[in-house]
Amino acid sequence: MPYVEGGICYPGEKEVKIRDVIVVRPFSALVGDKFIAFPPLSVISNMCSRSLKGKYWVDGVRVKGNEEIIFHKGKIMVNAKIKILSPEFTPGYVLSKLISGKKISIEPANSKNVIVEANGFPLIYIEKSKIHVASIDEKAILQAAAYSLLYYISSEYSEEL
């Protein structure tokens, strides 16, 4: 749960870079002269145009650059119907809202550790301690979702101060 300051982007507005923070649980922050609620998968970065006034302590993941997240180029085009198989993965519901109904290409995979699926195919899953994303479409939002999964599977990310 890092302290953050700087700019903030809504989910899907920006691809994730090293030192960005991916929000895992909703939080409110002062932007300009208004408090605004930001959903999971928002990205806190100096590259975002909305400036946070002050410092905030958020449930989130700071990208370090050594994470093992593998993106696969899809082979099958689907009209995404997202299903969250791990209900405690709350960022998945934002992901579902943002990409359900969009056309994405998916790489079929056999995995027993599926977190999110699209049309019955694994979309985000874990294999051998690595996070896999079975598509390169909608990369900004899928990237944020993959990084946010670290909050749930690694104490190194969930306890950061």
What is the distance between the alpha carbons of residues 143 and 17, in angstroms, rounded to a whole number?
A: 10
pLDDT recorded at residue 161 = 40
- Please spell the DSSP secondary structure of 47-93, one letter per residue: TSSEEBSS-EE-SEEE--S---EEE----EEEE--EEESSTT-THHH
144, exposed or middle or buried, with CB in 10 Å at 0-12, 13-18, 19+?
buried
State the DSSP code for 161.
-
pLDDT recorded at residue 3 = 83
Low-confidence ranges of the chain (pLDDT < 50): 159, 161
pLDDT recorded at residue 129 = 87
Which amino acid makes up residue 12? G
Taking the domains of the chain in order of start, what are their residue ranges?
3-62, 69-158
What is the distance between the alpha carbons of residues 5 and 49, in angstroms, rounded to a whole number?
A: 12
pLDDT recorded at residue 2 = 79
